[in-house]
A and B are shown apart, each in its own frame.
Chain A
Amino acid sequence: MSLAADIASVLLNSLQTGAIYVLLAVGLSIILGTLKFVNFAHGALYLIGAYAGILIAGEMSLSNGKLQEWGMSTIGLDLGYAAALILVPILVFVIGLLMERFVARPFYDRPDTDQILVTFGLAVIVQELFRAMFGGNSQNFSQPKWASGAVNLPVVGNFPEWRLWVIGITALLVILVIGLIEYTDFGLIVRAGTLDSEMVRLLGVRLDRQYLIVFGIGAALAGVAGVVGGPLELVNPNVGTGILVPAFITVVIGGVGSTRGAIVGGLLLGFVESTLIALPSLTIGSFTLNFAPWSQVGMYAVAAVVLLVRPQGLFGKEVEA
């Protein structure tokens, strides 16, 4: 493989790794930006998405459900994954609505710390519920058959097809969310509410409803991240807590409330992680430096540096500390 191909595939990989962070961070960021609510249960929503995805995909695929016993696997439809991709966001959207109404709303007027604590507790509950129901073992979330192969791209060479889908789905959803917030009346009200919710209410807008929907959308994005990201790794009850920290870091790097910031932040983290994994080891005399073990540390180091140099985040507005 040539150097160009190496670089291109690292870039594609970082795009894919970053895409999951972007999906999570955009949801987290719009909730934090508009509702001023700190949701430590965002990782739990990812977890719900991943498990619901496994269940729905397994149940609906002709390749490993009841229908296969009747000899119908040969049609090769494998609709399960597509069904999961549609049903899971709806499910998690509804969960998001319930969360807004029964968890977030009573806590809007309480300190940030209480919001963090109660959602952290909620995350523990969700995680333990899944452990109780499905056991602590890792489950394999298989990639859909229609996308489990590799595609031959120019320059890059063979690249796993599913990773391209991850990038594509993320791009589509992010464009939709940006469109919704920037170019619709709904978005206008939400943005106005962010700036001055009291004024918007005085104008006769029932902001509660908009808040409900924003929370639902944010949650649904986390659910999609679970369905899309689940097949890239093994799914176990701990993935929710594992993904939460990078998601938060992405938001904070990008700047709270900035969708653009969440995208850039996510891609930056993805780039750092993938590049450090892919870098060849460096030998100076008898000393060999491997970069791969530093991939996670590097992500956090970048986050720390960004936050210390520019505390409001890359795209955040200057606010008092």
Chain B
Amino acid sequence: MSLAQTWDSIKERELFVMGAVLVVFAVFPYLLTDFFVMNMVVESLESAGMEGIAGLLDNMRGWDELASLILIWGIFAMGYDLLLGYTGLLSFGHAAFWGVGAYSAGYFSAHVSSSPILIVVVGTVVAVLTAWLLGYLSLRRGGIYFTILTLVFAQMMFYLASSPLSFITNGENGFTNMKVGELFGTYDLGSEFIVLGDFIGGWLYVFVAIIGVICVGIAYRILNSPYGLVFHAIHENEQRAEFVGLNVGRYKLMSFVISGFFAGVAGSLFAIHGSYVPLESLYWTTSGEVVIMSILGGTGSLFGPIFGAGVYLYIENVVVSLPVIGDFWHLILGVVFVITIAFFPSGVWGAITKIRSLVRRSGGDR
């Protein structure tokens, strides 16, 4: 067996994938906050007298908060891609599950229990039930009607939250009564992690990252099972899948519910992360954001959307502080988004994979 083949067989193993994810998630905050290469560059620029550029690059360090936010949106986008990239259904209503998850997490934390784990469980369960209901209703139509129906139902949730239910959601001001307690009753999420605190950051990140790894594991399992293969089959040719004898409607609904599950997990984590649920989290532009992230990163791959979420949030938070181009970050993202759809349907992640396989082929080790 050649080296490349051995490598291929290793990297297909679930244990390896999960281990790699764990490692990447563990070093990830370090890359954003205190990456030594960046430190060296900044220092050498300063000593060379180029304070201007050094200052700009200095801006790119110290983003402690961003790491957990990227993972949270990454979970959302990964789940969303299960629907869009694998099953081929374009939903413009996923803000509903994200928002409902966040609101129920918030309400639960304020009135029942402040245990972070329970908050996430409750937010997720409510989001899943909502997804089941809305999915059942929306999937009665296909194509653009499905997209518009998801949009209609999600907007209905937004307007429900904005005024008739404002006694629960606090209307325009967003839900502010969040109470986030200690993890396992001992570890305050705001405090520094016991081991390697400088490296990994606070308990909040650890909490989010562990749930993130679990989510990636679940998604990996689903997609690499015969069950996930059916999603792919539906995407390729719905009619043929039907003829083979698969209950396409049922699989589509399950795909919708599973993606709602991830949206719910991410939504409740988002509520915990900010101790706050803005009303906008239910507005349809939130759905738009997760669409942009998934497409940018690359649909139809497990890690593409997480990557896309990272790129999106990095630009939103870091690039926005740069002079001149900072004001246009959303515009730039829009342009990149349109170019991606028009010319690179597989997204950035897909483009990287393509380049890699090209390089490999020219290397001749296959």
Which A92-133 residues have C-beta < 8 A from chain B?
106, 112-114, 116-118, 120-122, 124-125, 128-129, 131-132
User: Contact partner of A293 among B147, B164, B338, B345, CB < 8 A?
Assistant: B164
Looking at chain A's contact residues, is the secondary structure mostly helix, strand, loop, or mixed? helix
User: Contact partner of A248 among B141, B151, B291, CB < 8 A?
Assistant: B151
Known: A106-B342, A117-B90, A128-B331. A297 touches B159 (CB 8 A): yes
The verdict on A181 contacting chain B, using a C-beta distance below 8 Å, is no
- Determine the distance from Cα of A60 to Cα of B128 in the docked complex, in whole angstroms: 55
Which A215-254 residues have C-beta < 8 A from chain B?
241, 245, 248-249, 252
**Is A296 a contact partner of B328 (Cβ separation < 8 A)?**
no
- Determine the distance from Cα of A295 to Cα of B52 in the docked complex, in whole angstroms: 54
Q: Which residues of B contact A159 (CB under 8 A)?
A: none
Closest to B285 in A: A241
Closest to A238 in B: B285
Q: Which residues of A contact B342 (CB under 8 A)?
A: 106, 118
- Determine the distance from Cα of A38 to Cα of B92 in the docked complex, in whole angstroms: 14
**Is B145 a contact partner of A321 (Cβ separation < 8 A)?**
yes
Which B144-182 residues have C-beta < 8 A from chain A?
144-145, 147-149, 151-153, 155-156, 159-160, 162-164, 166
Q: Which residues of A contact B334 (CB under 8 A)?
A: 121-122, 124-125, 128
**Is A300 a contact partner of B155 (Cβ separation < 8 A)?**
yes
- Determine the distance from Cα of A272 to Cα of B162 in the docked complex, in whole angstroms: 18
The verdict on A304 contacting chain B, using a C-beta distance below 8 Å, is yes
Which B77-119 residues have C-beta < 8 A from chain A?
84, 88, 90, 92
Question: Which of B84, B142, B152, B337 has the largest number of chain A CB atoms within 10 A?
Answer: B152
**Is A297 a contact partner of B337 (Cβ separation < 8 A)?**
no
B247 → A minimal CB distance (Å): 16
The verdict on A146 contacting chain B, using a C-beta distance below 8 Å, is no
Q: Which residues of A contact B164 (CB under 8 A)?
A: 293-294, 297
Q: Which residues of A contact B163 (CB under 8 A)?
A: 293-294, 296
**Is B159 a contact partner of A296 (Cβ separation < 8 A)?**
yes
A317 → B minimal CB distance (Å): 14
Q: Which residues of B contact A187 (CB under 8 A)?
A: none
**Is A132 a contact partner of B327 (Cβ separation < 8 A)?**
yes
Question: Which of A116, A124, A125 has the largest number of chain B CB atoms within 10 A?
Answer: A124
B121 → A minimal CB distance (Å): 29
Question: Which of B140, B284, B341, B342 has the largest number of chain A CB atoms within 10 A?
Answer: B341
**Is B288 a contact partner of A311 (Cβ separation < 8 A)?**
no
Which B306-360 residues have C-beta < 8 A from chain A?
327-328, 330-331, 333-335, 337-338, 341-342, 345
Q: Which residues of B contact A117 (CB under 8 A)?
A: 90, 291, 295, 341
Q: How many residues does chain A have at the interface if contact means C-beta atoms less than 8 Å apart?
A: 34
The verdict on B190 contacting chain A, using a C-beta distance below 8 Å, is no
**Is A321 a contact partner of B140 (Cβ separation < 8 A)?**
yes
A318 → B minimal CB distance (Å): 13
**Is A307 a contact partner of B341 (Cβ separation < 8 A)?**
no
A237 → B minimal CB distance (Å): 10
A288 → B minimal CB distance (Å): 13
A300 → B minimal CB distance (Å): 4
**Is A300 a contact partner of B159 (Cβ separation < 8 A)?**
yes
**Is B333 a contact partner of A124 (Cβ separation < 8 A)?**
yes
Q: Which residues of B contact A120 (CB under 8 A)?
A: 288, 291
A45 → B minimal CB distance (Å): 16
**Is B159 a contact partner of A129 (Cβ separation < 8 A)?**
no
Which A155-209 residues have C-beta < 8 A from chain B?
none
Q: Which residues of B contact A303 (CB under 8 A)?
A: 152
The verdict on A1 contacting chain B, using a C-beta distance below 8 Å, is no
Q: Which residues of A contact B144 (CB under 8 A)?
A: 38, 112, 116
Which B278-307 residues have C-beta < 8 A from chain A?
284-285, 288, 291-292, 295
**Is A114 a contact partner of B341 (Cβ separation < 8 A)?**
yes
The verdict on B274 contacting chain A, using a C-beta distance below 8 Å, is no
The verdict on A75 contacting chain B, using a C-beta distance below 8 Å, is no
- Determine the distance from Cα of A118 to Cα of B153 in the docked complex, in whole angstroms: 22
- Determine the distance from Cα of A116 to Cα of B166 in the docked complex, in whole angstroms: 32
Known: A116-B147, A117-B341, A118-B341. A304 touches B156 (CB 8 A): yes
Known: A117-B90, A300-B155, A311-B141. A128 touches B285 (CB 8 A): no
The verdict on B137 contacting chain A, using a C-beta distance below 8 Å, is yes
**Is B152 a contact partner of A132 (Cβ separation < 8 A)?**
no
Closest to A297 in B: B159
Q: Which residues of A contact B62 (CB under 8 A)?
A: none
The verdict on B19 contacting chain A, using a C-beta distance below 8 Å, is no
Closest to A252 in B: B148
**Is B152 a contact partner of A300 (Cβ separation < 8 A)?**
yes
The verdict on A4 contacting chain B, using a C-beta distance below 8 Å, is no
**Is A121 a contact partner of B341 (Cβ separation < 8 A)?**
yes
User: Contact partner of B141 among A121, A293, A296, A307, CB < 8 A?
Assistant: A307
Question: Interface 1/0s, chain B 231-250, versus A by CB < 8 A?
Answer: 00000000000000000000
Question: Interface 1/0s, chain B 122-152, versus A by CB < 8 A?
Answer: 0000000000000001001111110111011
Closest to A296 in B: B159
**Is B341 a contact partner of A249 (Cβ separation < 8 A)?**
no
Q: Which residues of B contact A112 (CB under 8 A)?
A: 90, 143-144, 147
**Is A125 a contact partner of B335 (Cβ separation < 8 A)?**
yes
- Determine the distance from Cα of A241 to Cα of B95 in the docked complex, in whole angstroms: 15
The verdict on A151 contacting chain B, using a C-beta distance below 8 Å, is no
The verdict on A308 contacting chain B, using a C-beta distance below 8 Å, is yes
The verdict on A86 contacting chain B, using a C-beta distance below 8 Å, is no
- Determine the distance from Cα of A303 to Cα of B288 in the docked complex, in whole angstroms: 21
Q: Which residues of A contact B151 (CB under 8 A)?
A: 245, 248
Which B18-33 residues have C-beta < 8 A from chain A?
none
- Determine the distance from Cα of A249 to Cα of B154 in the docked complex, in whole angstroms: 13
- Determine the distance from Cα of A172 to Cα of B151 in the docked complex, in whole angstroms: 31
A121 → B minimal CB distance (Å): 4
Q: Which residues of A contact B341 (CB under 8 A)?
A: 114, 117-118, 121
Q: Which residues of B contact A8 (CB under 8 A)?
A: none
Question: Interface 1/0s, chain A 282-321, versus B by CB < 8 A?
Answer: 0000000000011011001101100110010000000001
Known: A121-B338, A249-B148, A307-B145. 7 other contacts (CB 8 A): A116-B90, A121-B337, A293-B166, A300-B155, A308-B137, A311-B145, A321-B141
Q: List 9 A-B contacts (CB under 8 A).
A: A112-B90, A116-B144, A245-B152, A252-B145, A294-B164, A296-B159, A300-B156, A311-B140, A321-B140
